[in-house]
Amino acid sequence: MIVAELASRKAGSILAIDADPNSCFADYLGIKCPETIVGICNEISKNMDKIPAGMSKDRYIEMRVQESVTETGNFDMLVMGVPEGPGCYCYVNNLLRSVIGRIAGNYDHVVIDNAAGMEHISRRTAGNISELVLVSDYSAAGIRSAKRIYDLAGEMRIAIGRAMLVVNRVSGPLSAIKKEIADTGLDLAGEIPYSAELSERSLVGKPVSGFGPDSARYGIGKICDRFMESSICR
């Protein structure tokens, strides 16, 4: 929804990156069957004879990944993908980090969707983050989880311009979790009220681009206002 909001504002060039192995970012943005980093790695591993003469395997993979960026009229997209079998994500994460470092400067906004949890922080998928957006559900446990991730980012010495908390699917007053929010030390970017329409779109697989207006869309708009106010992201 942040990507869709930035695109609707014509706020500049946007790169959306799905760094979650359980990829669904592209679906929510209406992109069907994008080429993935994992898919490229698997294809090349099975067809080593197709690597151009004089080019290393790693360089060829990186070139193919950069070429795999899906372009739309409103934003571009890069997708990690899911391995076909057992194995470690270390190589793919390192490759993703390298590609982000090379192409991020070509865009006004880079929006990265990570897997829920701490692994993407510990692996430093993005070494420099202008806006770290921690999304919690409407619960004390969710808020505490966000704080733990924020604390880990500090321990990993990741360069963060500003860390912000978003409370999602809110169905009551934030006063019920006011203390937990305050204890995080995070700037509260805003809240997104529960939306029956958005839940229905998710159930039937419709992209978020046609969603709204309602209170959830309004909440996203207010959150993006906060991002745009930052001199870091302007």
Three-class DSSP labels, 46-66: HCHHHCCCCCCHHHHHHHHHH
Say what the pLDDT of residue 34 is. 85
Say what the pLDDT of residue 85 is. 55
Say what the pLDDT of residue 20 is. 83
Q: For 18, left (φ over 0), alpha (ψ -120 to 50), or beta?
A: beta
Question: Are 70 and 9 within 8 A, CB to CB?
Answer: no
The residue among 131, 102, 114, 83 whose CA lies nearest residue 231 is 131
| Below-50 pLDDT ranges, the chain | 231-234
Task: Sort 77 into a burial class: Cβ within 10 Å, 0-12 / 13-18 / 19+.
Answer: buried
The residue among 186, 112, 192 whose CA lies nearest residue 149 is 186
How far is the C-alpha of 182 from the C-alpha of 140, rounded, in Å?
11
Say what the pLDDT of residue 140 is. 95
- Side chain identity at residue 165, one-letter code: L
Say what the pLDDT of residue 33 is. 79
Say what the pLDDT of residue 89 is. 66
Where exactly are the structural domains of the chain? Answer: 21-109, 127-234
127-234 folds as Rossmann fold (3.40.50)
- At residue 94, φ and ψ (nearest 5 deg) are -65, -40
Question: Are 82 and 22 within 8 A, CB to CB?
Answer: yes
How far is the C-alpha of 228 from the C-alpha of 222, rounded, in Å?
10
Question: Are 221 and 16 within 8 A, CB to CB?
Answer: no
What pairs with residue 193 in β-bridges?
170
Say what the pLDDT of residue 232 is. 42
Strands (E), the chain: 14-18, 70-71, 76-79, 109-113, 128-136, 159-170, 187-193
How far is the C-alpha of 233 from the C-alpha of 58, rounded, in Å?
32
What pairs with residue 168 in β-bridges?
192
Say what the pLDDT of residue 32 is. 85
Write the DSSP string, 171-219. Answer: -S-GGGGHHHHHHHT-EEEEEEE--HHHHHHHHHT--GGG--SSHHHHH
Residues 6 or more apart whose Cβ sits within 8 Å of residue 60: 44, 51, 52
